[in-house]
Structure 1
Amino acid sequence: MKRWILFTCPLIVIFIFSSFSFSLYNVEVPEALKVKEPPPFLFPQDKAYFEKMNVRPPFIGSRYIGFKEALAFKESQGSYSAVNSFGYLGKYQFGVNTLALVGVHDSIHFLENPSLQEEVFEKNIARNKWILRKDIKRFVGKRINGIEITESGIVAAAHLAGPGNVKRYLRSYGRTDVIDGYGTTIANYLKMFSGYDITMIKPVKNPRI
């Protein structure tokens, strides 16, 4: 009797485990979870610029997240605690006047709060889109000084030089450019950040934190 038990018990255990294995590896994936097409992780149009500069920004596709991370890399290499020699702050290098426009008046708290920095960036994009809405409609798809004008390029240039200066650049067809303290121009940003899809951020008049 004992010998029979010793013989049959291992067989029962093997049968139980094999049943579990069969059920686990033959579960059908729900239709909603199946990948039907490749994700839209495309590079921006001017990735050659970064290759020439021998840097590798965190390209995360050509949607909004790719846009903001590439812009942050150019501004501060993505550091939330960065303060440059002109006093611009954080990952996206905001000046205190721009922060005040969206309702932020404590620069120390701003530097110590990454989520606030991300919120300010999004609010500022929405604000610049509102100010430049007519110029976006008028100039997107055209070429100025050999650069194809895109919405993301316009918005990035507004982050660099302010929406008023971008208006003057576009309406003068490139005759009026602005250069920052490090030698970067509106034309540079129009080219560098062209081709991103940032339509998820809608224009907002006077957005506030």
Structure 2
Amino acid sequence: MTPTADIATPLETGSTDGMKRHLSDLAKSLGAFAMVGIAATLVHYLILMVLMETGLVTSLAAANLLGFGGGLLISYLGNHYFVFDGGRSHVHGFALMVAGYIIVMLLHTGLMIGLTQGQIFTFLQGPVASVGGEALIGLWQWFISIMPAWLSPHLVGDTSLTTSTTIAFIASSGTAAVLTYCWNRFIVFKAA
């Protein structure tokens, strides 16, 4: 696959064909990014679950940090070689990626802990209740209520206002994917 850092913008080409090529290149970039992200997420999740299930690490935050580190390595190498033009040196590019990913990892871990322990829902019921928080809680509870009985216990934690580690991981990883794509595309690999 050809890295897509040299994508021509429609304004540069001034044509409909330029727009089609730009959208095609963007779709290829997003597809390759998704594949690298899936691989990195699987590595992250496997490390997290192996550490937690075997008892090697008892802290969710510590296990998540170690898993995130494994996923980060896969993400950097995949993005450098298959998604974006890796024009920077490995040291500079990896340092930039680590800086951005530390922020994303902290957000990811905070979101996971907040979801599994219910703090997110407490926040939605309190400070932001009047601006949609209660609606989000209602949506979550409705979602749980329509699930088959055998699936519901896998979605929630100890109460209907906490989530399982797996669902918290999926929600946190989805948020992290959007943030890391933007960080990689516009900061680390400076794609046009």
Normalising to structure 1: TM-score of the pair?
0.26
Indicate the structure with greater helix content.
Answer: 2
TM-score (norm 2): 0.28
